[in-house]
Amino acid sequence: MVPIKLFIFDMDGLLFDTEPLSAEIWRRVGQEHGYHISEAVLQEVIGMNDYGARAVFAQSLGEAFPYDELHEEKLNRQIEYYRTHDISLKKGVHEILAYAAAENIPCVVASSSSKAQVRLLLEKSGLAPSFAYMQSGDDVYRGKPAPDIFLRACSRMDVIPSEALVFEDSANGLRAAAAGCMRAVWIADMAIVPPDVAQTAWLTCTSLEEVPEVLKRQK
């Protein structure tokens, strides 16, 4: 087995319990402007960056849907919430980061969220020092399910894709890992993951807390 030399973490729904909040703010913003944003749309955009989500919204709600205006409003509300509230970490975050440190495996975040969100959550939670690099969705045109965000993280850390291990909760994230020929650990959250996509995961765990022991058994 190729040794693991890099951990790549998604952020929303994987490190932080933020997916329900994101969906709720989208619903509210949509309602206030006279749009019904369906659960199907909210599911489809989980894991996507701004560029990909814009296309999904346009397909569902029409080209006239004012995505940029409403997305900016949604983003501002979300960041304000993050600033004024404690955001729960997902179970096992500290355990997997401690394992990585003990094994001398560098960690990076590769999130489809904006740079402002990534930086705010990591710094406010105190997790920022645990990550050697933070890759946001702002800098990648082809977001998940394309592998670009993960490949860029590997390049930045001078690691070939087969030496990286991706931690993901969404179908789009798992598809991106598979497209980049990377091993992935699937930690289920609120995103619906079809069985064929779930089968692409190298490991499936109920939480990050389980991962260290599972990895030890893989050696």
pLDDT digits (tens, 9 = 90+) for 164-180: 999 999 999 999 999 99
Residue 143 and residue 51 in contact, taking contact as beta carbons nearer than 8 Å:
yes
Share of residues in the chain with pLDDT > 70 (%): 100
- Mean pLDDT over residues 82-92, rounded? 96
- Give pLDDT, residue 57: 96
In angstroms, the CA 37 to CA 71 distance is 12
Angle at 130 between CA 142 and CA 103, to 5 degrees: 100
Q: In which band, very low, low, confident or very high, does the pLDDT at 156 lie, cut at 50, 70 and 90? A: very high
* pLDDT of 65 above 90: yes
**pTM (2 d.p.):** 0.94
